[in-house]
Structure 1
Amino acid sequence: MKQLNKPTDNLGGLIKIWLVPPDAVSSLTGGTLTLHSTDEVHEIYCSSGSISFTEPMEHARAGILYKPQIKGFIPKDSPEVEEAINAMAGRKYLGVFLDGNEQYKVCGTVAIPLRVQFDLDTGADTPDRNGHSILLSGAQRNKSVFIAKPF
């Protein structure tokens, strides 16, 4: 008999996210992500409670597809944030994240990385949030994989 037992703990949400360019990856095998360089890896700060990961499964003609999405909110529009976003816009990445259970996962592959999108919203009034929403998304044949601490 196969069982999924009740976990001893389970914390939601994400703690950190990183965008890893495919050309920085040496290998991704056996639960280990090996990078030959971290120079172009972007660690993204997002407001507490704004970052999440979903991975819906879809039945397609070609078989099962998984559609991972990492979402978050980068607070405060500034010249530094704009410069970083301009450097990342239009490129594709693997998404690495640390979840609330202190587990690392990677979504996307070197062959099929994910797209990144940024949307700025200053809000309409002083108490509104000012900053960029980030979305890293795509489609892949396999679920995202757990990895050992990559950095």
Structure 2
Amino acid sequence: MKSVNKQSDQLSGHLEVLAVPQSNIAGISGSQITLRDPEFVFELVCARESLKLQSPSEYSQPGNAYKPVISGFIPGRSSDNDTILDLMLRFRFVVVLRNADGKYTRTGDLNHALKFGYEYSTSPDPAGQHGYTFSFSGAVLTPQKSVKLPFSTE
């Protein structure tokens, strides 16, 4: 019998998003990502427990395929955030998530990166939140892979 067991040492939830532009990646070897410019990485600091990863899988002509969607919420609004999020629309990303127990995983690779989108919204309720809802989505051929930080550089 083959068993699928939960990891005993993994707490639930993701805490951090590091979005690495596909064009900034010199290579991926095992769990190491090598960057061309270590400063060209976007960190998205989200509201507590707002990060979500869904990765439906299916079998297709090239083999296993996954369609991940990573979404989250950043409360508030600033002109700096507007500028950075607008810049991010120009790139495709390999997305690195840090979970609650400090482990990192990546979604995407050099050939299959995720597109980014966001929207700003407010609530009609005076006590409601306003802020940015963002998502990364795409089609990839591998599930999440473990990543070691810090990234290496060329």
The answer to whether the superposition gives a TM-score over 0.5 is yes
**How far apart, CA to CA, are the structure 1 residues paired with 2:7 and 2:62?**
34
RMSD, aligned CA: 1.8
Aligned residues with identical type, % of pairs: 27
Matched with 1:77 is: 77
Deviations 1:18-54 (A, max 9, x none): 1101121121112111212122210001000101222
Aligned residues: 151
Distance 1:102 1:61, change over 3 A: same
Q: Give the gaps of 5 or more residues in structure 2.
A: none
Deviations 1:90-149 (A, max 9, x none): 321110110123211111112221000101111112211101111011111111211112
SS at match of 2:86: helix
Answer whether contact 2:26 2:35 (CA < 8 A) is retained.
yes
Q: Give the gaps of 5 or more residues in structure 1.
A: none
Q: One-letter code of the match for 2:15?
A: I
Summarize the alignment of residues 2-151 of structure 1 with structure 2, pairs less than 5 Å apart. 4=4, 7-151=7-151
SS at match of 2:149: coil
Q: One-letter code of the match for 1:19?
A: A
Q: One-letter code of the match for 1:36?
A: R
Distance apart, 1:6 and its partner CA: 5.5
Distance 1:120 1:6, change over 3 A: closer
TM-score of the superposed pair, with normalisation by structure 1: 0.90
Answer whether contact 1:56 1:68 (CA < 8 A) is retained.
yes
Answer whether contact 1:71 1:136 (CA < 8 A) is retained.
yes
User: For structure 1, which segment, 7-16 or 109-118, has the greater mean C-alpha deviation from structure 2 after superposition?
Assistant: 7-16
Moved over 6 A (4+): none
Answer whether contact 1:34 1:150 (CA < 8 A) is retained.
no
